[in-house]
Amino acid sequence: MHRNEFKLGLEFSSLSEKSCQGSLLEEINMLGLLRQRAGGNVSWIMEQGIRAAASRAFSSSAKESMTVRDALNSTLVEEMSADPKVFLMGEEVGEYQGAYKISKGLLEKFGPDRVLDTPITEAGFTGIAVGAAYHGLKPIVEFMTFNFSMQAIDHIINSAAKSNYMSAGQISVPIVFRGPNGAAAGVGAQHSQCYAAWYAACPGLKVLAPYSSEDARGLLKAAIRDPDPVVFLENELLYGESFPVSAEVLDSNFCLPIGKAKIEREGKDVTITAFSKMVGLALQAADLLAKEDISAEVINLRSIRPLDRRTINDSVRKTNRLVTVEEGFPQHGVGAEICASVIEDSFEYLDAPIERIAGADVPMPYAANLERLAVPQVDDIVRAAKRSCFRSR
């Protein structure tokens, strides 16, 4: 058996060296393929061989970039290769390879038993997936947009989120609901809503919102491996964006903790919290503020429920100011919850009123000029931070 493992290790090493000239996604997919061919029973010897080869392959890749789309796709490949209980279902995820090509190549790799094309009936296939999770499988349900999840919200909340509590812990529901969330461009009011606050209000659900490729890989792995239902809110406009990734992020064992935020940029004058696409806007705002000698600390929430209240409050106690940013509606939003947390735990540290930046409290307009006014922009964040620092003039 050791000879077979050694042979696989050599094969991976050779392919890794060749693929250093190619894409990072090809390297990751090859690692998943070899794990699958080994039947999932990879011994310590083979594991070390794979890690050594991977280390060589990625040693010069620390500054390489990966799109969020490829990060999600590679994670699905790895997790489906590692665990035969994981399967994907949704509209056009198989033959069409996903509306946004997140599931590209999965049908060919894993077959129609594990990559299931469904009819246009979210309530139906979501209910089937929840039932499969009751019986120990690990479904990943893709919604073409989270706006369509409203057709299935009864199964998500009443069937998935509450079953563990109502069964006194006897029933686990290891299921992931994923897809694009929030505003895209020119798709109108019914296809532009942010569901972060909607689902984060429900006990029993975990709600994650990745920003970068690192977030996408680490958080999706955590979601798939979690024993409880996870709502995984992606962003259509981020799929094609590239981010630098390290060898650690590309390792198949890389996984981010649920409930832990990331400080994307350290600062001392004002704290800016954001999630998903808004993190990028917050970082751009921080660059502009730095030119005016305002040092902004940017927190990428990553996890909406559970919320990393400690990181947020620790930052506010250092900067004494807070700006929250989200693209959802302002009333009962994620920013409102953050404000409540800071008022409860760190009120005496505040030197200025908290500023909330959110989407306009109206259905999303279709006209491009009005749509732009309805979602937060970099200038909105800059103005709010300057007001907080009493530098609005």
List active site positions.
122, 191
Phi, then psi, of 182 in degrees rounded to 5: 90, -170
The Cα–Cα gap between 43 and 318 comes to: 47
Q: Is 39 exposed, middle or buried (0-12, 13-18, 19+ CB in 10 A)?
A: exposed
Cβ-Cβ contacts under 8 Å for 231 (sequence gap 6 or more) = 156, 177, 178, 195, 199, 205, 206, 207, 208
Residue 183 tokens, joined: 């505003």
Instruction: Give the SS3 label for residue 38.
Output: coil
Q: Say which amino acid occupies 167.
A: S
Q: Running DSSP on this structure, what letter comes out for residue 257?
A: P
Count Cα neighbours of 232 within 13 Å in the Cβ-side half-sphere.
30
Residue 378 tokens, joined: 């970099």
Instruction: Give the SS3 label for residue 224.
Output: helix
Residue 62 tokens, joined: 């620390």
Q: Say which amino acid occupies 146.
A: F
Cβ atoms of 67 and 238 closer than 8 Å: no
Report in angstroms the alpha-carbon separations of 273 from 119, 356, 361: 39, 10, 20
